[in-house]
Structure 1
Amino acid sequence: MPLSFPILDPVAFSIGPFAVRWYALAYVAGLLGGWFYAKRLAAKAELWGQLRQPKPTDIDDLIVWVALGVVLGGRTGYVLFYNLEAYLRNPLEALAVWRGGMSFHGGFLGAVLALVLFARSRGLNALALLDMAAVVTPIGLFFGRIANFINGELWGRPAPDLPFAVVFPHAGPEPRHPSQLYEAFGEGLLLFVVMGIAARAFGFRRPGLLGGIFVLGYATARIASEFFREPDAQLGFLFGSSVQGLGGGITMGMLLSVPMAIVGIVFIVMALRGYTRPTKTVEAA
């Protein structure tokens, strides 16, 4: 028997007319968790070698830059990559972030841009700062996918024989893969463990290495999860079509993840060969 979707109110609590949604709390939890973890990483001199360490105040300021980059980039990416036609008809809807609709790939680009600009403004090594961000990002990915499940959105493909398939309230009567939870595990928990091990093994002494591992790891996990996730209704399958069991079509999520994987491999190779090491080091202030 399929599992009925649990009755979960997308609104966590309300204060008068102001409603706080689980979706927003997931972003807050991800940012706060990332901030706490980043401060611990920044304080460990052995991870940085001769590279300049960020100060605690740098991390405090960085979280604001990254939050803006994630929200603005994520929303812009969703509008451009997934639902441009609808937002062209009603442009003001693009501002309704609280209703959901964020693109990881757009948020990723926004966060990268914010990190690079911040590093240049503080005289820090941009690639090393991106490496640190790569280690903490799976925290936000985990909470974000849990929020997708609570919202009953981004559900999986039909899975009538799956014992833990879920009937989502807005996805029709068919039991489906709880693909949001698959992504929470792969892009969140599993990638968090991988990045933690990589950070302990390599530190940030080879700028770009951990960032490359993260980008390749996320792209791999995302492509794998897309075989279980129902493509966005307004896009469908870009190439091919779904087949029984694992889907056989190419989705937008897969397509956007391929260049990420390539970039990840390039940065891993460059970092291991020493191409990204700075020609001179900067002592901590």
Structure 2
Amino acid sequence: MSLTALAAAAAAEAHQPIYWVNLGLKNYLFRIGSFELRWYSLAYLAGIMLGYWHLSRMIKSPGAPLAQRHADDLFFYCTIGIILGGRLGYATFYTGGDTGIPSLWADPAALLSLWHGGMSFHGGLIGVLLAMAWVSWRGELDFLRVADYIAVCVPFGMLFGRLANFVNGELWGRVVTDPGLPWAMVFPDAGPLPRHPSQLYEAALEGLLMIVIMLGLFWKTRARFRPGLLVGVFTTGIACARFTVEFFREPDAQLQDFAARTGLSMGQWLTIPLILLGLALITRALAKPALATVRPIT
């Protein structure tokens, strides 16, 4: 074989995509009979527990707007808000209408079948907001400052959730246009063409990057003394990250026609109001004087 042929063969081998099935991943930790403990469930649990632990640390620092009893209430109600809001948001935004999937609202049994998948980030966000509003109202707390503290903890769950999506081999990205992309991947049930592992892009941007930004702002600056600044940065950052990743993420099968007609995916349309809201919160927070340092609430 000539040197040219060897070089061509080596180049072709170097550009072979990664096959997800060869990674040896399973969507569950263990199985007992028909019961499976799935990584996706563990991701939700890990995100909530780590967020609760970190919130408990945050409220011990000067200027905390809530006490441990409020953190306990938030842990309980936000968990309910994430699950119910995520599921109802999926039923609202991603089924029914012209999606080609019967509306889950018309089938209560299917709506409650959480193990079949189908959760909406935006629905979960609404659920968390309602939970925070309830705890803030009942405890006579400043809602905006409570939102600041919760916003710092949310990226933990985003990181674990997107990693679980990757382990499940779901929510894969679009077909790559660069045949030499070294991390292009062929996913099961997605055809033979290599795709972007957009779940990892989301884990990096919505999760890891936002963790670094939010922890840095809270622990290294006085951002927590400007009500609305932390939640504004989080809202803007998470929405911009989602908007960007959607260019690499395959639209849900039932919404591909919608994306083709409108030029943007459903996820991108839903992030635009969040970007505007986040920028408004940042502007408002910076325009007002910072709060004075006070002792933690007990």
Aligned to 1:82: 94
1:68 maps to which of 80, 100, 104: 80
Aligned partners of 2:148 and 2:198: how far apart in 1? 28
- 2:254 aligned counterpart, secondary structure: coil
CA contact (8 A) 2:61 2:296 kept: no
1:129 maps to which of 146, 158, 172: 146
- 1:230 aligned counterpart, secondary structure: coil
Query: Following TM superposition, by how much is the alpha carbon of 1:149 offset from its aligned partner in structure 2, in angstroms?
Result: 0.7
- Structure 1 residues 71, 276: closer, same or farther in 2, change over 3 A? farther
2:268 is equivalent to residue 268 of structure 1 = no
Aligned to 1:97: 114
Aligned to 2:17: 2
- Structure 1 residues 277, 97: closer, same or farther in 2, change over 3 A? farther
Aligned residues: 272
- Structure 1 residues 271, 234: closer, same or farther in 2, change over 3 A? same
Aligned to 1:116: 133
Cα deviation, 1:28-57, whole Å, max 9, x if unaligned, reads: 010011011111111101xx2xxx642223
Query: Following TM superposition, by how much is the alpha carbon of 1:14 offset from its aligned partner in structure 2, in angstroms?
Result: 2.7
CA contact (8 A) 1:23 1:100 kept: no
Aligned partners of 1:213 and 1:171: how far apart in 2? 35
CA RMSD of aligned residues (A): 2.2
Q: Which has the larger radius of gyration?
A: 2
CA contact (8 A) 2:145 2:228 kept: yes
Aligned partners of 1:272 and 1:237: how far apart in 2? 41
Query: Following TM superposition, by how much is the alpha carbon of 1:249 offset from its aligned partner in structure 2, in angstroms?
Result: 3.6
Aligned partners of 1:283 and 1:186: how far apart in 2? 32
Aligned partners of 2:150 and 2:85: how far apart in 1? 16
Query: Following TM superposition, by how much is the alpha carbon of 1:284 offset from its aligned partner in structure 2, in angstroms?
Result: 2.9
Pairs within 5 Å for 1:162-181: 162-181=181-200
- Structure 1 residues 284, 37: closer, same or farther in 2, change over 3 A? closer
Q: Which amino acid aligns with 2:287?
A: R
Cα deviation, 1:158-217, whole Å, max 9, x if unaligned, reads: 016122111111111111000000000000000111111221313422211110110000
2:123 maps to which of 74, 83, 106: 106
Aligned partners of 2:56 and 2:223: how far apart in 1? 14
Aligned to 1:233: 253
- Structure 1 residues 154, 276: closer, same or farther in 2, change over 3 A? farther
Aligned partners of 2:56 and 2:195: how far apart in 1? 40
TM-score by length of 2: 0.85
Query: Following TM superposition, by how much is the alpha carbon of 1:240 offset from its aligned partner in structure 2, in angstroms?
Result: 4.1
Aligned to 1:57: 69
Query: Following TM superposition, by how much is the alpha carbon of 1:17 offset from its aligned partner in structure 2, in angstroms?
Result: 4.1
CA contact (8 A) 1:237 1:250 kept: no
Q: Which amino acid aligns with 1:66?
A: C
- 1:176 aligned counterpart, secondary structure: coil
Aligned to 2:55: 38
Aligned partners of 2:157 and 2:60: how far apart in 1? 21
Aligned partners of 1:107 and 1:277: how far apart in 2? 30
Gaps of at least 5 residues in structure 2 are 1-15
- 2:255 aligned counterpart, secondary structure: coil
- Structure 1 residues 143, 206: closer, same or farther in 2, change over 3 A? same
2:204 is equivalent to residue 190 of structure 1 = no
Aligned to 1:222: 242
CA contact (8 A) 2:46 2:157 kept: yes
Aligned to 1:158: 175
Query: Following TM superposition, by how much is the alpha carbon of 1:145 offset from its aligned partner in structure 2, in angstroms?
Result: 0.2
- 1:164 aligned counterpart, secondary structure: coil
Cα deviation, 1:207-251, whole Å, max 9, x if unaligned, reads: 11110110000110001100100000001153547xxxxxx9410
CA contact (8 A) 2:65 2:146 kept: no
Q: Which amino acid aligns with 2:81?
A: G
Query: Following TM superposition, by how much is the alpha carbon of 1:25 offset from its aligned partner in structure 2, in angstroms?
Result: 0.2
